[in-house]
């Protein structure tokens, strides 16, 4: 499913960036540059089956008038206030993956919009000289912390329900949900120089509290 995305995405320097690329399954997340290596900008990659599912979701989302793209993300507890742009699906080395934006967070194409039912995925780099570190302090978030998500001037308040680290190959964090949910993902764990990737992904899960407008 969204396996490839998860693994490459979080490393820039080792991962090539957000690379979903690699033969091992991974999830798109933040790309990291642990040392000074400038990774080649790999992007998270999706397995064939997952690619078709994500593309289908993206097409459905674009046809839904209620879909609200996420344009800003605010987490007061860690002084995070960042713009959010589309993390588009792109073809890379024969596979479909999300292209993680530089210096801001990315709203994964094909996932639900602000306040909408389902699991909206937002990804970002943890630390990179060339790609930014928008999610550098994501590990300081705690359960019950408030996350404000904006779509233009509309604001939606989410509450964090869990903060955890998962294996880079764990794609269950991308599972759809029946109620409005938000999942923030970046890299964490040990750096694996042989595969240019981190061992884990930091995942912050939140649920919609209320629409403030």
SS3 32: strand
Q: What is the mean pLDDT of each run of 10 residues along the chain (213 residues)?
A: 44 35 36 29 44 53 70 98 93 72 93 95 88 93 97 96 91 90 93 82 93 62
Q: What is the pLDDT of residue 213?
A: 58
Query: CA-based angle 97:125:196, to the nearest 5?
Result: 70
Structural domains in the chain, CATH included, are 4-211 (2.40.260.10)
Could you give the CA distance from residue 111 to residue 57 in angstroms, rounded to a whole number? 7
pTM of the entire predicted model: 0.75
Give residue 174's pLDDT: 87
82: nearest Cα among 156, 154, 149, 144: 149
pLDDT at 82: 98
For residue 117, count CB atoms less than 10 angstroms from its CB and return exposed for 0-12, middle for 13-18, buried for 19 or more: middle
Full DSSP string of 122-166? EE--SB-TTT--TTTTGGG--TT-EEEEEETTEEEEEEEEEEEEE
């Amino acid at each position: 499913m969204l396996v490839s995305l998860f693994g490459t995405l979080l490393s820039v320097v080792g991962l090539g960036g957000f690379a979903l690329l690699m033969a091992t399954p991974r999830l798109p997340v933040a790309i990291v540059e642990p040392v000074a290596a400038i990774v080649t900008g790999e992007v998270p990659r999706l397995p064939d089956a997952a690619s078709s599912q994500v593309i289908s979701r993206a097409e459905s989302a674009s046809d839904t008038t209620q879909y609200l793209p996420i344009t800003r993300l605010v987490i007061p507890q860690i002084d995070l206030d960042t713009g959010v742009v589309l993390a588009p699906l792109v073809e890379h080395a024969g596979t479909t993956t999300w292209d993680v934006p530089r210096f801001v967070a990315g709203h994964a194409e094909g996932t639900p919009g602000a306040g909408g039912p389902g699991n909206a995925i937002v990804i970002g780099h943890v630390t990179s000289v060339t790609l930014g570190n928008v999610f550098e302090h994501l590990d300081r978030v705690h359960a019950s912390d408030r996350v404000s998500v904006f779509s233009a001037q509309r604001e939606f308040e989410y509450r964090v329900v869990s903060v955890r680290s998962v294996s880079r190959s764990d794609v269950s964090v991308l599972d759809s949900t029946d109620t409005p949910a938000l999942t923030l993902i970046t890299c964490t764990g040990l750096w694996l120089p042989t595969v240019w990737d981190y061992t884990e992904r930091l995942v912050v899960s939140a649920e919609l509290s209320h629409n403030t407008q």
